[in-house]
């Protein structure tokens, strides 16, 4: 190590006199910190100044990337990670000067409580990375582990470790020398995923420049590299001094403890005690390139040659041997030539003539090729030129031929570049070739020329003459520009047509996808329709205009007893004799008609029985051929239910009449008592007349006739009452109150729907059973529901009509049923009379409904009540005991 440092110091002393002092910009990767200690040491200890370099160090930001800053000319030197090699393999003209870190500090850190312990655990997790180029070592690690990077949820790095601490992300791109310090300070346990453990061991913090910088300033590149490495050696030996410098001059926002942690971590990555600082192994670069190729990040490593800078290239032994052989051959040839010269002296004059002739031929060749030549005396600054060069430049014999006048011939836009290039070739002792634009003094026309040449040196090794040729390439440049323009136009046209073709293909693909979706939808719809067709409980029968059945679903077997295939090509009259008559109303000129109104007809079952049916028919046309689809429903069970409900309503009506007669009995008792009283009076009078000594037979006959009339009158009253009320005994049994409510509502449902009334049930579940006469309680509920419907009929159209029926237990061991409406309510005057027999608010009412209702409830040991608020509605509620009372049922 000491020998390497001594050699660096000797090189610095040698270079200090050969490099001019001009501003040199070094772009760092991130903010000022111990990570870049060597560059600060080189600047502060004067190593850059000693070799004539005025260096300015720029700290990095998330937007200011070193590779881009150097490629775009804002800095001559930079410091980057493995992305440097990646960009080189992608074509960027970058050169690695020194690998400061032998191992990369880049790692992924995860909180230990996330359970992440290997790259496989990162699938589906949120990971912060800068980008795939900058974090190339992580991409290579994922590839080595067979992890599809598309399965990872990668988020652009916020550069804030707090995002990991707060759980915003699961893994964070970090430096071993930085973020672990924060986590340890906060007592947070973490796991480190180091690419080195997964076959990815890259150089890091690599000092680099561009091919142009190396080509045109090779001595400056060498001096800058050696001064920087000397700074790194100093920083490694004096870390506390560099930490003081960072805290006092560069004002870093890290604590001394943090910087000391960083210095220790960096030393383990640089390992200056084992490996020379800046050492780069060509085989390791090739391994890194192969890793990138394997990861699919680049195609090949063709551009790897020339990437790694060698400050002291060794002589190729094979070349040296070849040169020695050549030198021996030359010596032999020289001996022979010496002998030949003695024999050739006599022909020297003849050869001079030939040389003169060859010179003329060369001049002619120059003229023919359009090459003008010139010779510049670099000592005096004067130059001479051929006539063709004068013609190309548009000057005459009187044009002053010195270097300043040469500069005036060069177009201002190219002048600085050309003069700088001339200085470079003089300094570097190399041949040159360059193109530039001139302005001819005689006609101010601009022309393009190409210049070739070389430098001649005197015996002391100083440049003495610059010899070159100039050729007018204006037509070629114009042709090139035309070709470029045409190529650009062609490229734009191809690009435009390609985009149009892509758009057309995309449109075609979308249409194909739409057709495919439509085909699938059609297949699904057909499958659904077939499923519905065969699953339908209604029979679906399609016939043509000749009444021939063309299709039938599976339900026809249940309805008619025939298999569907038995009916195909049979006349519809086999099933529905009346259906042919129903088609008389169809107009075959219409292509399609909606489903007709439902009508009741009779169908014929296979066993000969008659089946009551609901029939609806639709007409449609396919290719001008008309068809009819009959939808039939077996309504046998409905007819049976209607008969059952009709009988039930008759029974309810009978109960009503019984109740009505019970209530009417007291109301009409005086009518029966009146003729009976009259008969009694007339009988007493008759007895008195008979007991008289001289009975008045005429008067007696008159009295007996009146007695007979009154008896007949009483008989007629009794007869009418017997006709009205038939003898039915009350029958009680256990019942579910909620079921009685639903059954009663079912009988009134048509009236409720017809009057647009919203029906609400508020029924308590698991209520005890009651012991009642079902018919009488249903009649009570029907009376109350119909009263509410009548009350709601007169409600305004905009008002929501509501009928609420509820059931619940009450504290006296009874079940309470409530029928509530939001109608107009009952006036306070009417509320006193509403339960009185023969009182009614309806124009056609008898006034007995509520009276009968109360009688029926009281007969079941219950009570009937109501409350009403005018304008807000009325609630009738009654109770039924849950235990049977002795002596009350018959």
Contact 836, 851 (CB under 8 A): yes
| CA separation for the pair 296, 814 (Å, rounded) | 85
Q: How many CA atoms lie within 13 A of 349 on its CB side?
A: 1
Reported as a single tens digit per residue, the pLDDT across 667-691 is 555 456 656 777 888 898 888 888 8
Asked if the model's pLDDT at residue 702 lies above 50, the reply is yes
Which residues, listed in sequence order, are joined to residue 359 by a DSSP beta bridge? none
Residue 131: pLDDT band with limits 50, 70, 90 = low
pLDDT of 748 reads 87
If one counts every other C-beta atom within 10 angstroms of the C-beta of residue 18, the result is 13
| Nearest in space to 139 (alpha carbons), one of 186, 106, 95 | 106
| CA separation for the pair 66, 77 (Å, rounded) | 8
pLDDT of 580 reads 44
Q: Could you tell me the end-to-end alpha-carbon distance of the chain, in angstroms, rounded to an integer? A: 125
Cα-based distances in Å from 714 to 680, 708, 721 = 12, 10, 11
pLDDT of 133 reads 58
Cα-based distances in Å from 795 to 421, 831, 842 = 104, 19, 16
From the number of C-beta atoms within 10 Å of its C-beta (0-12, 13-18, 19+), residue 403 rates as middle
Q: Which helix (H) or strand (E) holds 8?
A: helix 2-15
Lowest mean pLDDT among 105-109, 507-511, 659-663: 659-663
| Nearest in space to 787 (alpha carbons), one of 819, 828, 747 | 819
| CA separation for the pair 372, 76 (Å, rounded) | 37
Contact 203, 284 (CB under 8 A): yes
User: What order of strands is seen across the sheet that includes strand 106-111?
Assistant: 153-156, 126-129, 171-175, 106-111, 190-193
| CA separation for the pair 633, 599 (Å, rounded) | 11
pLDDT of 181 reads 93
Contact 679, 714 (CB under 8 A): yes
| CA separation for the pair 630, 74 (Å, rounded) | 87
Asked if the model's pLDDT at residue 776 lies above 60, the reply is yes
Reported as a single tens digit per residue, the pLDDT across 603-633 is 889 888 888 988 888 888 887 888 888 888 8
* Structure tokens belonging to residue 185: 């300070």
* Structure tokens belonging to residue 287: 């391994």
Residue 695: pLDDT band with limits 50, 70, 90 = confident
| CA separation for the pair 748, 787 (Å, rounded) | 11
Asked if the model's pLDDT at residue 113 lies above 70, the reply is yes
From the number of C-beta atoms within 10 Å of its C-beta (0-12, 13-18, 19+), residue 566 rates as middle
| CA separation for the pair 398, 376 (Å, rounded) | 17
* Structure tokens belonging to residue 497: 């047509």
User: For the chain, what percent of residues have pLDDT higher than 90?
Assistant: 35
Reported as a single tens digit per residue, the pLDDT across 853-877 is 888 898 888 999 999 888 889 999 9
From the number of C-beta atoms within 10 Å of its C-beta (0-12, 13-18, 19+), residue 205 rates as buried
Mean pLDDT of 471-491: 83
| CA separation for the pair 579, 569 (Å, rounded) | 16
Asked if the model's pLDDT at residue 579 lies above 50, the reply is no
Backbone angles phi, psi at 815, to 5 degrees: -105, 130
Mean pLDDT of 251-262: 94
* Structure tokens belonging to residue 482: 């035309």
Asked if the model's pLDDT at residue 487 lies above 80, the reply is no
| CA separation for the pair 394, 441 (Å, rounded) | 6
Q: Which residue has the higher pLDDT, 711 or 133?
A: 711
Contact 50, 16 (CB under 8 A): yes
User: For the chain, what percent of residues have pLDDT higher than 70?
Assistant: 81
pLDDT of 851 reads 80
Asked if the model's pLDDT at residue 585 lies above 50, the reply is no
From the number of C-beta atoms within 10 Å of its C-beta (0-12, 13-18, 19+), residue 556 rates as buried
pLDDT of 888 reads 43
Please give the mean pLDDT across all residues of the chain.
82
DSSP single-letter state for residue 467? E
* Structure tokens belonging to residue 589: 């000129």
pLDDT of 456 reads 85
Tell how strand 864-869 and strand 873-881 pair up.
antiparallel
Tell how strand 610-622 and strand 599-604 pair up.
antiparallel
Residue 332: pLDDT band with limits 50, 70, 90 = low
Lowest mean pLDDT among 174-178, 339-343, 509-513: 339-343
| Nearest in space to 265 (alpha carbons), one of 492, 391, 106, 141 | 106
Percent helix, strand and coil across the chain, each rounded to 5? 50, 20, 30
24-45 b/e with 16+ CB inside 10 Å = b?
bbbbbbbebbbbbbbbbbbbbb
Global pTM?
Answer: 0.40
Cα-based distances in Å from 361 to 321, 375, 547 = 39, 19, 113
Report residue 231 CA to chain centroid gap: 52
pLDDT of 351 reads 55
| CA separation for the pair 39, 227 (Å, rounded) | 9
DSSP three-state, residue 57: strand
Q: How many CA atoms lie within 13 A of 410 on its CB side?
A: 22
Reported as a single tens digit per residue, the pLDDT across 266-325 is 999 999 988 899 999 998 999 999 999 988 899 999 999 999 998 876 544 454 455 455
Residue 410: pLDDT band with limits 50, 70, 90 = very high
Contact 103, 196 (CB under 8 A): yes
């Amino acid at each position: 190590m000491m020998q390497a440092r001594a050699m660096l110091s000797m090189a610095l002393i040698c270079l200090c006199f050969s490099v001019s002092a001009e501003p040199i910009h070094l772009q760092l990767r991130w903010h000022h910190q111990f990570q870049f200690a060597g560059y600060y040491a080189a600047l502060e200890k004067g190593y850059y100044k000693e070799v004539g370099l005025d260096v300015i160090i720029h700290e990095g930001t998330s937007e200011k990337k070193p590779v881009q800053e150097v490629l775009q000319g804002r800095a001559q030197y930079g410091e980057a990670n493995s992305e440097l090699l990646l960009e080189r393999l992608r074509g960027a003209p970058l050169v690695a000067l020194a690998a400061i870190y032998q191992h990369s500090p880049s790692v992924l850190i995860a909180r230990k409580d996330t359970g992440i312990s290997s790259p496989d655990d990162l699938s589906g997790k949120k990971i912060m990375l800068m980008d795939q180029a900058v974090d190339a070592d992580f991409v290579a690690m994922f590839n080595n582990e067979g992890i599809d990077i598309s399965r990872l949820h990668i988020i652009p790095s916020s550069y804030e470790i707090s995002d990991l601490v707060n759980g915003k992300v699961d893994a964070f791109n970090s430096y071993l020398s930085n973020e672990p310090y924060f986590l340890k300070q906060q007592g947070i346990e973490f796991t480190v995923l180091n690419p080195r453990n997964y076959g990815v061991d890259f150089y890091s913090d690599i000092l680099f420049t561009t091919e142009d910088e190396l080509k045109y300033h090779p001595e400056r590149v060498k001096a800058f590299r050696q001064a920087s490495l000397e700074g790194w050696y100093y920083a490694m030996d004096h870390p506390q001094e560099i930490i003081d410098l960072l805290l006092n001059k560069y004002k870093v926002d890290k604590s001394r403890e943090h910087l000391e942690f960083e210095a220790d971590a960096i030393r383990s990555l640089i390992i200056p005690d084992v490996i020379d600082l800046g050492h780069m192994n060509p085989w390791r670069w090739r391994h890194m390139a192969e890793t990138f190729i394997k990861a699919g990040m680049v195609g090949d490593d063709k551009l790897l040659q020339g990437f790694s800078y060698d400050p002291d290239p060794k002589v190729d032994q094979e070349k040296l041997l070849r040169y020695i052989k050549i030198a021996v051959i030359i010596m032999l040839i020289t001996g022979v030539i010496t002998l030949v010269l003695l024999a050739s002296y006599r022909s020297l004059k003849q050869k001079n003539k030939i040389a003169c002739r060859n010179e003329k031929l060369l001049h002619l060749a120059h003229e023919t090729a359009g090459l003008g030549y010139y010779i510049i005396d670099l000592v005096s600054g004067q130059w001479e030129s051929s006539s063709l060069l004068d013609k190309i430049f548009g000057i005459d014999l009187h044009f002053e031929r010195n270097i300043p006048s040469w500069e005036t011939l060069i177009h201002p836009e190219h002048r600085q570049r050309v003069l700088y290039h001339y200085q470079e070739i003089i300094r570097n002792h190399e041949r040159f070739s360059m193109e530039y634009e001139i302005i001819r003094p005689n006609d101010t026309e601009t022309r393009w020329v190409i210049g070739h040449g070389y430098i001649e040196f005197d015996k002391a090794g100083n440049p003495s003459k610059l010899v070159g040729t100039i050729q007018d390439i204006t037509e070629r440049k114009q042709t090139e520009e035309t070709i470029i323009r045409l190529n650009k136009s062609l490229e734009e046209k191809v690009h435009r047509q390609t985009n149009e073709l892509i758009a057309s293909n995309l449109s075609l693909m979308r249409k194909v996808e739409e057709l495919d979706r439509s085909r699938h939808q059609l297949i699904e719809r057909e499958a659904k329709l077939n499923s519905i067709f065969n699953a339908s409980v209604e029979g679906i029968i399609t016939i043509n205009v000749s009444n021939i059945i063309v299709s039938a679903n599976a339900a026809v077997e249940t309805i008619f007893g025939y298999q569907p295939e038995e009916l195909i090509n049979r006349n519809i009259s086999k099933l529905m004799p009346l259906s042919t008559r129903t088609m008389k109303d169809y107009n075959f000129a219409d292509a399609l008609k909606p489903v007709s109104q439902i009508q009741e007809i009779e169908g014929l079952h296979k066993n000969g029985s008659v089946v009551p049916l609901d029939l609806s028919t639709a007409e449609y046309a396919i290719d001008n051929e008309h068809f009819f689809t009959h939808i039939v429903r077996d309504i046998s069970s409905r007819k049976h239910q209607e008969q059952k409900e009709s009988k039930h309503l008759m029974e309810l009506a009978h109960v009503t009449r019984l109740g009505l007669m019970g209530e009417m009995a007291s109301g009409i008792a005086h009518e029966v008592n009146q003729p009976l009283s009259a008969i009694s009076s007339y009988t007493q009078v008759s007895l008195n007349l008979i007991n008289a000594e001289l009975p008045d037979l005429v008067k007696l006959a008159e009295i007996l006739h009146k007695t007979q009339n009154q008896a007949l009158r009483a008989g007629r009253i009794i007869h009418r009452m017997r006709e009205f009320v038939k003898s039915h005994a009350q029958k009680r049994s256990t019942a579910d109150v909620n079921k009685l409510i639903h059954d009663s509502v079912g009988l009134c449902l048509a009236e409720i729907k017809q009057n647009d009334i919203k029906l609400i049930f508020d029924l308590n579940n698991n209520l005890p059973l009651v012991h009642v006469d079902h018919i009488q309680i249903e009649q009570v509920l029907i009376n109350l529901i119909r009263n509410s419907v009548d009350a709601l009929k007169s409600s305004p159209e905009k008002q929501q009509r509501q009928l609420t029926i509820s059931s619940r237990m009450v504290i006296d061991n009874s079940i309470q049923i409530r029928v509530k409406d939001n109608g107009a309510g009952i006036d306070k005057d009417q509320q006193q009379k509403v339960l009185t027999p023969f009182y009614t608010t309806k124009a056609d009412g008898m006034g007995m409904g509520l009276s009968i209702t109360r009688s029926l409830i009281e007969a079941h040991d219950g009570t009937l009540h109501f409350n009403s608020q005018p304008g807000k509605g009325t609630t009738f509620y009654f109770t039924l005991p849950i235990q049977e009372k002795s002596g009350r049922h018959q």
